[in-house]
Amino acid sequence: MFLYQKRLQYPININIKRKDLRMAKMLISQYGGSQSELAAAMRYLNQRYTMPDNRGKALLSDIGCEELSHLEIIATMIYQLMKGATVEELKAAGLDGHYAEHKKALYPTDANGVPFTITYVSTTGDPKADLMEDMAAEQKARAVYENLIDLTTDPDVLAPLLWLRQREVVHYNRFKELFDMYVEEGL
């Protein structure tokens, strides 16, 4: 099912030029926080099995895989924002606890350092309930991206954040279309 291509869905391979440890610390929320790309990918790739038809299975598979690619974009952004940081700079940015445990490696947490937990992932086995959860998750992720956008003026950081925010809107609309079809069909 998976085909790995050595390019990001949004091309930021070398775009972020300015170190910003504070922004890296905030951005990690979309790596491992409650509204993160990791939580979304896990949610959708688990829920797909209980969708009543191939349309639902395909949609949740497609969006779940896309969320994994968004996770890779977030990871790339964090690494670029932290590139060349000294231990003193990490400490000044409040990342000393992260450094103590993980050095500069990524670890799925939120911006406060709370580790990812599987309790962020919801699934009921009821297609309509799960799709409503998915729509809510996309709206929450959109809100987090908007908050992150408010925290930076760096155009190299803003561009991928705006793109990721728009993908949340697209996902919401796709889930809403499927939900409406299931309601209309009595599924």
For the question of whether the overall pTM of this predicted structure is more than 0.75, the answer is yes
Of the pLDDT bands very low, low, confident and very high (cuts 50, 70, 90), residue 13 is: low
- Residue 66 tokens read as 């896309």
User: If pLDDT is split at 50, 70 and 90, which confidence band does 73 have?
Assistant: very high
Q: Is the pLDDT of residue 2 over 90?
A: no
CATH tag, 21-185: 1.20.1260.10
Whole-angstrom distance, CA of residue 135 vs CA of residue 173:
8
- pLDDT at position 66, please? 93
Output DSSP code: residue 105: S
Which pLDDT does position 6 carry in this prediction?
67
Mean pLDDT of 35-63: 96
Q: How much of the chain exceeds pLDDT 70, in percent? A: 93
SS3 state of residue 172? helix
Q: What is the pLDDT of residue 94?
A: 92
Give me the mean pLDDT over the 49-73 stretch: 95
- Residue 26's nearest CA partner among 173, 180, 161, 187 is 161
Average pLDDT value for residue range 11-38? 90
pLDDT at 96 over 70: yes
Rounded average pLDDT over 22-26 = 96
Measure the CA–CA gap between 20 and 35, rounded to whole angstroms. 22
**E strands present in 10-151:** none
Average pLDDT over residues 93-99: 92
Give the count of beta carbons closer than 10 Å to the beta carbon of residue 153: 8
- Whether residue 147 has pLDDT greater than 90: yes
Instruction: Identify any residues that bridge with 115 across adjacent strands, giving them in sequence order.
Output: 109
Closest-CA residue to 60 (of 78, 86, 82, 40): 40
pLDDT for 15 equals: 83
pLDDT tens per residue across span 106-139: 999 999 999 999 999 989 999 999 999 999 999 9
| Average model confidence (pLDDT) across the chain | 93
| Residue 5 pLDDT level (bands cut at 50, 70, 90) | low
pLDDT at 173 (0 to 100): 98
**Domain parsing of the chain, residue ranges:** 21-185
